[in-house]
Amino acid sequence: MTNRQILYLCLYLAFAIYIFLYTEMAYLGQLSLIIFVLSLGLFLFTKLPAGLAGLIALIIGILFGLPEDVLFASFNEHVVWLMIGAFIIGASVEISGLHERLIHWIEIKCNSEKKMNMFLFLLIQIISVTVPSTSGRAAAMLPIYNAFATKYRHNQTYFALLLPILILIGANLTLIGAGSHIVGIGLLEGQTKETISYSAFLIWGLPFGLIMGLISLYVIKKMYFEHNSAEQANGNVNTSYEKKPFSIKEKKTLIYISVTVLLWMTENIHGFGIAFITMAMSVIMMLPNIGVLTWKQGLKSVSWSLILFVASATALGELLVKYKVVDAIQEQLLSRLSQFQNMSELVILIVIVVITVTSHLYVTSHTTRAIVFVPLFLLFSETFHLNPVAVVFITLIGTNYCVTFPVSSKALLLFYEQQGNPFKNKDLAKVSCVLMPIYMLLMIGCYYFWWQHTGISLR
């Protein structure tokens, strides 16, 4: 172990002792929190494969008293099957030949820095208002990433950071941008009988999402884009590529992907979840004669290390809710906030923004953040006589930020585990150090210059 790792271990042991000795949670709640932090520490601060880190944490937790079912039920998560299907669909694009065709199209159409960035930005904004899941949008963008990363090898880190971050920022554009929006608005309706319509969310969220997306593009470009690779590619189209008519495999893949996206967009009509749709279409793509790749090719394309980590981390995160750890956090926050009865509107806004934007650091699941913080701030709104609709909307926008660690979002993990690990934990943290304060300031600015003038004033 390095000196730094020894220091982290000592800090972790001190944290564990504090949780056991100085908190009033039940034993299983204390253990769930300690094991959850262990899984994050092993992932972030060691060189262990992600899947192994997650399994180690789960097994240690079970040895100390967590139920054995936690290990076996960890695969009973929608996001796990969504990601398995996404890997298989991504592999079908490469095996069918569409990947090579897409690279050639990029050489012709995106042969300048400006064209390349505008194409990616506009494409992500379009799918952000059509595909109702950040993980689904990440899955849809994987073939695009692979094509750009193959063409501009010097900028793999840039593309691997840019695409998922723009996807996450794009969650702010519409009501269907994230599942947490539906959860939060459901809690709002249940407690206050008020709601936020699709059009209202679009009016409030679209300007914020577009501005923050452009800022993110500019920041990541300044930090990670290497101009030499774009300059070398500019004007140097690969003339050795012979344009051919679409093969049967390519046509099949295009049809299957189009059907998949259409089914994603119409989830509210047919009732099947995005994870099931993705998995069902990936199975069709592996069927003999009908599909475009073999069963072995499909299984080989899946990053099983990532799948095991996502399964274990999600299961541990749900234990925090089951064993009332989240309730304890809510009570502590509310008891401290309720002491300040005479806060000005600006101070109240800053409190909501800071707590929600930083919430991804200690509650990694997007939906869980909505479950935790929407009820908390609804109570907060009653205490301070605030507009609950404004409070819930600002809370949802704040909890949408999750850029600091790969474990904060499945979309980030999906790109983090691509071939060659295109970016490191420190790269993401570095970007977040710039984007997080900008995100907070933009939320405050949007409130005073847009939101409060269009119907969501706090008072």
Contact 181, 416 (CB under 8 A): no
The whole-number pLDDT of residue 430 equals 93
Q: What is the pLDDT of residue 338?
A: 67
| Residues 42 and 166 occupy one common structural domain | no
Q: Where does residue 342 rank: exposed (0-12), middle (13-18), buried (19+ CB within 10 A)?
A: exposed
Reduced to 3 states (helix: H, G, I; strand: E, B; else coil), residue 323 is: coil
pLDDT of residue 356: 92
The verdict on residue 203 lying in a domain is yes
Is 314 a member of any domain?
no
- Is position 112 within any domain? yes
Q: Which pLDDT value is given to residue 242? A: 60
Determine, yes or no, domain membership for 177: no
Final residue in a domain of this structure, among 73, 91, 120: 73
Domain span holding position 33: 1-73
Verify that 61 and 166 share a domain, yes or no. no
Closest CA to 87 of 366, 304, 309: 304
For residue range 254-268, list pLDDT tens digits in order: 899 888 878 877 777
Q: Burial, 396: exposed, middle or buried (Cβ in 10 Å; 0-12, 13-18, 19+)?
A: buried
Q: What is the pLDDT of residue 233?
A: 47
* 86 and 43 part of one domain: no
Tell me: do 107 and 215 sit in the same domain.
Answer: yes
Are 142 and 250 members of one domain?
yes
Same domain flag for 53 and 127? no
Q: What per-residue confidence (pLDDT) applies to 420?
A: 74
- Condensed to tens digits (0 to 9), the pLDDT of residues 260-298 reads 878 877 777 888 877 788 899 999 999 998 989 999 998
pLDDT of residue 339: 65
Query: Are 68 and 86 in the same domain?
Result: no
Report d(CA 405, CA 396) in Å as an integer: 19
In a domain, 415, yes or no: no
Q: Are 314 and 26 in contact (CB under 8 A)?
A: no
In this structure, the answer to whether residues 36 and 124 fall within a common structural domain is no
Positions of the chain with pLDDT lower than 50, given as ranges:
229-237, 239
Contact 413, 406 (CB under 8 A): yes
State whether 64 and 138 are in the same domain: no
Under a CB-based contact definition with an 8 Å cutoff, are residues 412 and 145 in contact?
no
Q: Which of 101, 436, 85, 459 is CA-nearest to residue 293?
A: 85
258 within domain boundaries: yes
In this predicted structure, what is the pLDDT of residue 231?
Answer: 46
The domain boundary residue, chosen from 275, 305, 335: 305
Question: Which residues, 6+ apart, have CB-to-CB distance to 41 below 8 Å?
Answer: 8, 12
Residue 330 near residue 88, CB atoms below 8 Å = no
Q: Which of 274, 305, 336 is the last residue of a domain?
A: 305
The reply to whether 65 falls in a domain is: yes
For residue 236, give the DSSP letter. -
Domain co-membership, 23 together with 152: no
Torsion over CA: 77, 296, 423, 221 (sign)? negative
Q: Is residue 88 part of a domain?
A: yes
241 and 153 fall within a common domain: yes
Domain count, the chain: 2
Among 24, 144, 13, 58, residue whose Cα is nearest residue 317: 58
State the CB neighbour count (10 A cutoff) for residue 268. 8
> Which of 357, 366, 347 minimizes the C-alpha distance to 440?
357
DSSP character string of 407-452:
GG-HHHHHHHTSTT--S-HHHHHHHHHHHHHHHHHHHHHHHHHTGG
Q: Are residues 211 and 261 in the same domain?
A: yes
